[in-house]
Structures are given as structure tokens and as C-alpha cells.
Structure 1
Amino acid sequence: MNKEYAVGIDIGGTHITAAIIDIVNMKVIDFSVQKESFDSNLPVNEVMSIWEKVIRTSVENSKVEAINGLAVCMPGPFDYTNGLCWIKDQSKYEHFYGLNVRYLFQGTLNLSSEFPILFENDAVCFGKGEVFKNAENLSKKVMAVTLGTGLGACFIDKGVSVSTGEFVPADGEIYNLPYKDSMAEDYISARGLLANYESLTGKRRNNGLELYNLALDGDEIAIKVFEEMGENLASVVIPWLEKFDADQFIIGGKIANASQFFLSAFNKKINESGIEIGVSISTDNEIAALLGASSMFYKG
């Protein structure tokens, strides 16, 4: 069988990761994973220079001669069809607002306008990547969430992302669902954890990692806020797990690394609801994102 390859690219607020993906077997090519951290608020040409270096190094290290396309995993808001960035007031990519990122890639990498450059939402990439990492999930209905600075979600039916219809929330998003006094993301995210900790202790913490380390050290309030986040997550997703008739629920994102403090509370509420579903924690968000992005070129 002929080999075909794409560059999988995971772009976050502070990093870019690229790898060459065998789009027939959906495998990462050895030695091709390349990552760099950077300040996304640098001028556009400086950011593009960093992206170019990472992508070219990945291709070079892979020893692959022909690339079929770029598959880019991007945070929103973003026009994924047309490649337009609408990120604004999020302390990242301040100079990219309104720009066509597809054109930026074409110019920076000297690519023709015919060369395929496809974009997808970061949470959808994660979910699809988790499906392709485990072949059993290709026959299932999977809901996946990413827990981090925000709350991402996707619904995958037999490997295909579903974002419309009565069985999923609008655009497949749950971050903006009404919940308690505001919306889901205000409770289920790093800022939600930090706000809850501050309300209970009067002490402000800098980030989720600091809170995680406190929990590891036995801080009972830190442990409590993770547990409450697990309960909140279950409350938000239960109606949609039922509507979508999901077989599997997958949790990713940086906060997933703290699952020892919230998973039991989450599972308890799921069990109480009577839902029977497999629940798992992603062991490699980054590779999942790269595979998920590249699945847009899947040749299987």
C-alpha cells in the first residue's frame, strides 16, 4: 500500500507541536515530533517564523519526502473552513485577529494555493485522536472533554464529529451551557478551581498547577475543590451523555492530570444517574491532538 503523509500541527496559546503522520495507518512517524514554547502575542511574522522552524524540522527529521497537506489543530474562536482567526481578548494571538492563517502558512512555507491546509477545533482534534488511538472507539459514540484554561468538548459518532442536531448542544460546545449562577466553564476550568478555592479560603492561587500541588500535599480545601469540579462536570455532561447515547466518555486537558482528585466524585455522580458508560482519562493529549487533526486526511 502506498504511504501518504500529512503534517499534524497542534497550536496552543503558548506552544506549537508538529509531527509527521502516516495518514493510511494513522501513526506518528518516529523522530518527527517537534515542540516549541513561545509567546503568542509576539508580532505575527515572529510567530510564523517559529511555526516554520518547527514544521520544517519535523519534516526533516521524519525523512519523509512528500507531504500531502497540513492538518492544523487551533483553539477558537476560529473560522475552521476559511482559516480565519477570531481570537480576541484572550491574552493570546492578539495580532492574529481577523487574519487568514491559511494564507500565512502558504506565504511562510512557500506553498501553492492548491496545497491542502485544513483546520479543526482543538477539542474536536483531541476527541477524534483518542478515537483513532483506540480502534475499538471507531465503532462507538464517544463524548470527549478537555479541561484546562477552558472547557472544550466534542461528540464523535463512529469517527465522525457531530456538532449539529437535537442530540448534541449547539456547535457541540458545552462551555457556555447555563449552569448555576453563570455558565459551565466558570465552574469547570482552571479559573473555576481557583475561584472556588479563593471563596473557601480567602487565598488567591496563581494557577491550576499550584492548586494541584497543594492537593498532593494534602491540602483538604484544594482536594475539595477538585472533587466539586468532578461533581459539576458530571452534572453538566449527564444530560448530553443520555441524549447522545454515548458509549465512552474521555477526559483530557491539563487538569486531567489531577484525575486522582476528581474522578471518583465524577464517577459517583455518573453511577447515581444510572448511566452505563466507559470513562477514561487520556494518557497523551498531545499525540491525540496531532492524530485527530490529521484524521481530516485519513486514507484508511
Structure 2
Amino acid sequence: MNKEYAVGLDIGGTHITAAIIDIIGMKVVDFSLHKESFDSNLPVEEVMTIWEKVIRTSIKKSKVENTTGLAICMPGPFDYTNGVCWIKGQSKYEHFYGLNVRDLFQDKLNLSSDFPVLFENDAVCFGKGEVFKDANNLSKKVMAITLGTGLGACFIDKGKSISTGNSVPKEGEIYDLPYKHGIAEDYVSARGLISSYFALSGKKLNNGLEIFNLAKAGDEMAIKVFGKMGEDLAAIVLPWLENFSADSFIIGGKIANASEFFLPVFIQKIKEAGSNVTVSVSTDNEIAALLGATSLLYTV
């Protein structure tokens, strides 16, 4: 069978990861994974130079001579079809608002106008990647979420992302669902953890990692905060697990690394509600995102 390769990119607010993906086998080419941290609020040309360097480094390390597409996992708001960035007021990509990122890639990498440059939401890429990693999931209904700075979600039926219809929330998103005194993301995210810890302790921490480290050290308030997040997460997703008739629920994102502190409560709550969905935590978010992005090239 002939090999076909593409460049997969996972782009966040502070990092970019590139890898060369064997599209037929849906596997990362050995030694091709390359990651760099950067400040996304740098001028556009400086950011593009960093991205170009990472891509070219990945290609060089892979020893692959020809690639047939570029697939990019990107945070929103973003026009994924047309490649236009609409991120604003999020302390990231301040200079990219309204720009066509597809054009920027084509110019920077000297790509022809017909070379596929495709974009997808980061949570959808994660979910699709998890599905493609396990062939059994290709016959199932999967709800996947990413827990981190925000709360991402996707709904996948037999490998296809579902974002419309009565079985899923609007645009397949759960972050903005009304919940308690605000929206879901106010309670289930890094800022939700920080806010909860402040309410209990009066101490203002900087990020979720600090709370995780406190929980690891036995801090009862930190442990309680994660447990409360597990309860909130269950309350938020249960109606949609049922509505979508999900077979599997997969948790990813940086906060998934703290699953020992919130997962037991989450599982208890969904079992009490009568749900039989299979719950799992991703062990390699980044690879999943890259595979999920590259799966877009099957339709090209």
C-alpha cells in the first residue's frame, strides 16, 4: 500500500506541536514530533516565523520528502471552513483577529493555492483523534471533552463530528450552557478551580497546576475543589450523554492529569443518575489532537 503523509499541527495559546502523520495508517512518523512554546501575542510575522520553523523541523526530522496536506487543530472562535481567526479578548492571538490564517500559511510556506490547508476546533480534533486511535470507537457514539483554560466538547457518531440537531447542544459546545450563576465554563475550567479555591481559602492562585500540586500534597481545600468540579461536570454533561445516547465519554485537556481527584466523584454521580456510559481519560491528548486534525484530509 502506498504511503501518504501530511503535516499535523496542534496550536494553542502558548505552544505549537507539529508531527508528520501517515494518513493511511493514522500514525505519527517516528522522530517527527516537535514542540515549541511561544507568545501568541507577538506580531503576526513573528508568530508565523515560529510556526514555519516548527513545521520545517518536523519535516526534516521525519525524513519524509512529500506531504499532501496541512491539518491544523486551532482554538476558537475561528471560521474553520474559511480559515479566518476571530479570537478576541482572550489574551492570545491579539494581532490575528479577522486575518485569514490559511493565506498566512500559504504565503509563509510557499504553498500552491490548491494545497490543502484545513482547520478544525481543538476539542473536535481531540475527540476524533481518540476515536481514530481505537478502531472500536468508529462504530460508537462518543462524547469527548477537554478540560483546561476552557471547557471544550465534541460529539462523534461513527467517526463523524455532530454539531447540529436536537441530540447535541448548539454547535456541539457545552462551555456556554447556562449553569448555576453563570455558564458551565465558569465552574469547570482552570478559572473555575481558581475561583472555587479562593472562595474556600481566601487565597488567589494563578493557575490550575498550583491547585493540583496542593491536592497532591494533601491540601484538603484543593482536594475538595476538584471533587466539586467533578460534581459540576457530571451535572453539566449528564443531560447530553443521555440525549446523544453516548456509548463512551472521554476526558482530555491538561486538567485531565488531575483525574485522581475529580474522576471518582464524577463516576459516582453519573452512576447514581443511571448512566452506563464508559468513561475514560486520555493518556496522550497531543497525539490525539494531531491525529484528529489529520483525519480531515480523508475528505480532501
Q: TM-score, normalised by structure 2?
A: 0.99
Q: Distance in 2 between matches of 1:63 and 1:202?
A: 54
Map of 1:296 onto structure 2: 296
The one-letter code of the counterpart of 1:176 is D
Q: CA deviation at 1:298?
A: 3.1
Structure 1 Cα separation of the partners of residues 35 and 231 of structure 2: 34
Cα distance in 2 for residues equivalent to 1:165 and 1:175: 18
The residue type paired with residue 260 of structure 1 is: E
Match in the other structure for 1:32: 32
1:152 aligns with 2:152: yes
Query: Over residues 192-211 of structure 1, what are the superposed CA-to-partner deviations in whole Å (9 max), with x where a residue is unaligned?
Result: 00001101111111110000
Q: Which residue number in structure 1 is paired with residue 182 of structure 2?
A: 182
Instruction: Quote the Cα distance in structure 2 between the aligned partners of 1:275 and 1:298.
Output: 34
The RMSD of aligned alpha carbons is: 0.7
* Separation in 1, partners of 2:112, 2:134: 35
Distance in 1, matches of 2:63 and 2:262, equals 43
Cα deviations by residue, 1:120-150 (Å, 9 ceiling, x for unpaired):
0000000000001111111110000000000
Who is 1:133 aligned against?
Answer: 133
Given that 1:17 and 1:54 are in contact with CA atoms closer than 8 Å, whether structure 2 keeps it comes out as: yes
User: Does residue 1:238 correspond to 2:238, yes or no?
Assistant: yes
Equivalent residue number for residue 169 of structure 1: 169
Instruction: Report the Cα distance in structure 1 between the residues aligned to 2:13 and 2:182, rounded to whole angstroms.
Output: 25
Give the residue type in structure 2 aligned to 1:270: I
TM-score, length basis structure 1: 0.99
Q: Which residue of 1 aligns with 2:250?
A: 250
CA deviation map 1:46-103 (0-9, x unaligned) = 0000000000111111111111100000000000000000000100000000000000
1:254-293 to 2 correspondences below 5 Å: 254-293=254-293
1 CA distance for matches of 2:216 and 2:109?
Answer: 45
The aligned counterpart of 2:123 is 123
- Return 5+ residue gaps in structure 2 as ranges: none
- Per-residue displacement from partner, 1:13-66 (whole Å, max 9, x unpaired)? 000000000111101000100100000000000000000000011111111111
Q: Does 1:111 align with 2:111?
A: yes
Hey, what's the Cα distance between the residues in 1 that align with 2:215 and 2:261?
A: 8
Instruction: Kindly provide the amino acid, as one letter, of the partner of residue 215 in structure 1.
Output: A
CA distance in 1, matches of 2:198, 2:60: 48
Distance 1:116 1:203 in 2: 49
Aligned to 2:59: 59
How far, CA to CA, are the matches of 2:133 and 2:221 in structure 1?
A: 36
In structure 2, distance between residues paired with 1:278 and 1:99: 41
- Cα distance in 2 for partners of 1:268, 1:281 equals 16
**Residue-by-residue CA offset, 1:126-182 (whole Å, 9 max, x unaligned):** 000000111111111000000000000000001100000000000000000000011
SS of residue in 2 equivalent to 1:193: helix
SS of residue matched to 2:164: coil
Partner of 1:194: 194
Instruction: Report the equivalent of 1:226.
Output: 226
CA distance in structure 1 between the aligned counterparts of 2:144 and 2:35, rounded to whole angstroms: 24
Q: 2 CA distance for matches of 1:217 and 1:155?
A: 36
Whole-angstrom distance in 2 between the partners of 1:150 and 1:142: 20
For the residues of structure 2 that align with 1:268 and 1:298, how far apart are their CA atoms? 39
Determine if contact 1:24/1:298 at 8 Å carries over to the other structure: no
